[in-house]
Amino acid sequence: MDMKTVLVVEDEREIARMVQTYLMREGYRVEVAFTGEEGWTLFKNLQPDLVVLDLMLPGMHGLEVARRIRQGATTPIIMLTARTEEADRVAGLEMGADDYVTKPFSLRELAARVRAVLRRTEGATVPEVIRVGNLTVDLAAREARLGGALLDLTPTEFDLLAFFARHPGRVFTRRELLEALQERTYATLPRTVDSHVKNLRHKIEPDPEDPIYILTVHGVGYKFRPAEGE
Ligand code: CA
């Protein structure tokens, strides 16, 4: 997995540095801004994966930074607030901040929140379970079912099916499918894809000779049946 970038906006330099050092040790790339203006500029340049945002900042208030971020991005925001800033905290959450930590906080707690929020927001972008017709593909559990019955798929067959299911209606060449499977197989021949598709069809298609899920696109490759209504 590639390294996640966290932007820390905090005017108390000592806190900012401590947070930076701790999160870097946890495996994140961390950039620090000491004012709201600087934070907003860095946000636009860095496109970070998450923002740790102090609310009480000199100049541009943290809430204003959050508002600007939310106008164009869904980047997760964790607010740092003082116990006495309850109204700000509520305003921040209403503005779309994902979580908050009350000062004084432990670095371990902040790191746990960062991890949790990143996990939550990542999961939200890709559905874990894809349903097409009678077919259900559970990406997290690595299970596929047909009409409720668990399918006995090889790891490669599951990867191929999962790849198809994530891109319904899109036409793929054999070469592209081979590349998608590269981590699993060292095969280099496009014909290998044909044999995996053939095996998969025998397991998922009601009639493998007349497939309804994995469709042949003559002269090009294959495509997965589009979701209903597409
Ligand atoms: Ca502050």
15 CA distance to ligand 1 centroid (A)?
9
3-state secondary structure at position 65 = helix
pLDDT in tens, 109-123: 999 999 988 887 775
106 CA distance to ligand 1 centroid (A)?
16
Strand 171-173, strand 221-224: pairing: antiparallel
Domains and their CATH numbers in the chain:
5-121 (3.40.50.2300), 129-224 (1.10.10.10)
The confidence score (pLDDT) of residue 125 equals 56
Q: Do residues 77 and 120 make contact, with C-beta atoms less than 8 angstroms apart? A: no
13 CA distance to ligand 1 centroid (A)?
9
Of 26, 20, 50, 54, the C-alpha closest to 112 is 26
The confidence score (pLDDT) of residue 23 equals 95
- Distance CA(6)–CA(24), nearest Å, equals 9
110 CA distance to ligand 1 centroid (A)?
16
- Distance CA(137)–CA(201), nearest Å, equals 15
pLDDT in tens, 73-127: 889 999 999 888 888 888 888 888 888 899 999 999 999 999 988 887 775 555 6
61 CA distance to ligand 1 centroid (A)?
9
- Distance CA(215)–CA(213), nearest Å, equals 6
169 CA distance to ligand 1 centroid (A)?
50
pLDDT in tens, 177-188: 887 787 555 666
53 CA distance to ligand 1 centroid (A)?
9
16 CA distance to ligand 1 centroid (A)?
10
66 CA distance to ligand 1 centroid (A)?
15
Q: For the whole model, what pTM was predicted?
A: 0.56
pLDDT in tens, 201-210: 999 999 999 9
pLDDT in tens, 186-223: 666 778 899 999 999 999 999 999 999 999 988 788 99
22 CA distance to ligand 1 centroid (A)?
19
Residues in the chain: 230
pLDDT in tens, 6-31: 999 999 999 999 999 999 999 999 99
